[in-house]
Amino acid sequence: MLFKPEQTGAATDAPTTPPARKRRRVVPLLVTLLILGGLGYLGWSAFQSKQPARTGRFQMPMSATVPVLAATPRIQDVPVFLDGVGTVRALNTVTVRAQVDGKLVSVKFIEGQDVKAGDVLAEIDPAIYQAQYDQAVAKKAQDEAQLANARIDLVRYQQLAAANAGSKQQADTQKATVAQLEALVRSDQAAIDTARTTLDYTKIVAPLSGRAGLRQIDQGNIIRASDATGLVVITQLQPIAVQFSLPQQQIVRVNAAFAKGPLTVEVYGNDGRTIVDTGTLKGVDNQVDSTTGTVKLKAEFPNAGHQLWPGQFVSVRLKVETLNQALVIPTSAVQRGPAGTFSYVIGEGDIVHARPITVTLQDEKDAVIAKGLDASDRVVTTGFANLADGAKVAVGSGDQTITPDLAPRKRERGGAKGEKGEKGQRGQGQAWQGQKGQGQDSQGSQGQGERPGGRKGRAGDAAPAQDGGKAQ
C-alpha cells in the first residue's frame, strides 16, 4: 500500500513521454522547411523580376512603332547584262628582229616609249652593205656602156647588110648580142634593188604603232637575223581586245541579240564597280570548250586612257537587251521566306503587310518586279529587325541613315553570378564589371568578352541602343 502512489504516478507519466520527443523532432524540421520555402520564393521572385528585362532586350512589343525607311517603285528602262570574266589581249604583238647581220651602232628608242609605224628604232653598221650597193651600181654602168656600143655596131651591120656590103649573118649576131646586154643591164638593176633593200635593212624600223617593251640587246653587240629574242617587243594598246567567257546556256541569247546589231561590252576596274572602258563585241567563238562548258567571246575597246593592259584579268558584262518601262524597287526591299520572295508594303495607318512578289531581274542595287507591286505602293527598305506582318511603322525621311552598332552587345542573363558584374543602366549598354578583355565603343556596343563565372558571352547577344530606333 505504501508503494501504490508511486506506481500510479509512474503509470500516468509513461504515456506522455513519446509525444514530447516527437514535438522536439518536428520543430526543427518545420523551421528547415520554412527556411527552404522562403529561399525558394525569393529566388523565384528574383527570376520573375528579371524575365521582363531580358525579354525587352530582344523583342519589341507588337504595339510599339518600328522605325523604318521606305521607297516608292520606279518606272524606268532597265538594261539586261550577262556577266563574265576575261583577259585583256593586245590586238597585235610584234617581236622586232634584225633582217641583216651586223654590229648594232645605235639604239633610238626608250624602253616603254610609244612608237609609231616607220620610226627608226636602231641602226646596224651599213659599211659592208653600202659597198655592195655601190658595186651593183658600177656593174650596171659597165654593162650599159657595152650595150650602147653593141647598139651602134648593130646599126652599122644592118646598113652594110642592106647595101650587100656586109654579111646578113653578122648583123643578126650583133642583134642577139644587143639583146643579151639589155638583159644583163636589167639584171644589174635587180642587183641594185637588192643591195638597196639590204642597205635599208640596216635601219630597224617599227612595223606598227604601239608601246615598246624592254630592250633585248644593247648597243655595240652583234645582232643577227636568226636571234630568237630580237631587239624589242612592240604591243599595240590602242585599240585593245578583251577575251572573255560565258556559260554555254547563253549562246542562243547572245547570238540572237548579236544578229540584231552591235552589242555593248563594259569592263570593270579592280573594285568591281567602276566602269573602266566601253567597247563592242567583235565575235563569238565557233565551238564550246568541253572542259569548262563555256564559249569564248572577243570584244574591242578604245582604251584611250591606257587603263587596260595586256594580260590583265578583268570582269566583263555584255548588254543583250533592255527592259522597257519596268517596275523597279531597291534590292534591299526584296525579302525571302519559306514561300518565296516578298516585300513589306506600307498601307493605311502606317501598317505593313507582307506581299508576295515575282522578281524578273536583280542586281546589287535594283530589282525588277514582274508582279505583286504597283507604282503607288511604298515598300520598306531598311529596319526589318523588329518588323512583322501587321506591325505599325514610323517612316523616316530620305536623308536619314540607320546605322547599326559597330559591335554587338552582350546579352544579360539572370542569376546571382551574372548580376555581380553588372554596372550602370541596362538601356545604355554598359559593360559588365570584371569582364576580361572586353572593349566598349562610343555607342555602348560591346565586343566579345568573358562573363563572370568563367563563361564567355556570345558575340551575337545584343542590347537595344538608347534611342531604340535603329534597324538591323
pTM over 0.75: no
- Indicate if the pLDDT at residue 149 is higher than 50: yes
Q: ω before 19 within 30° of 0 (cis)? A: no
How far, in Å, CA of 300 to CA of 282, rounded? Answer: 7
Q: In the chain, what is the straight-line distance between the N-terminal and C-terminal CA atoms, in Å?
A: 101
Strand order in the sheet with 203-205: 203-205, 120-124, 102-107, 222-223
- Indicate if the pLDDT at residue 380 is higher than 90: yes
How far, in Å, CA of 251 to CA of 170, rounded? Answer: 82
> What is the helix (H) or strand (E) element at residue 140, kind and residue range?
helix 127-162
- Indicate if the pLDDT at residue 420 is higher than 50: no
Asked if residue 363 lies in contact with residue 404, where contact means CB atoms within 8 angstroms, the answer is: no
Span 12-45, pLDDT tens digits? 444 445 566 666 777 788 888 888 888 888 887 7
Span 62-83, pLDDT tens digits? 557 889 999 999 999 999 999 9
Smallest CA-to-CA distance from 97 within 217, 210, 244, 16 is with: 217
Mean pLDDT of the chain: 80
Asked if residue 107 lies in contact with residue 96, where contact means CB atoms within 8 angstroms, the answer is: no
Span 80-120, pLDDT tens digits? 999 999 999 999 999 999 999 999 999 999 999 999 999 99
DSSP 110: -
Strand order in the sheet with 232-235: 93-96, 232-235, 210-212, 114-115
DSSP 412: P
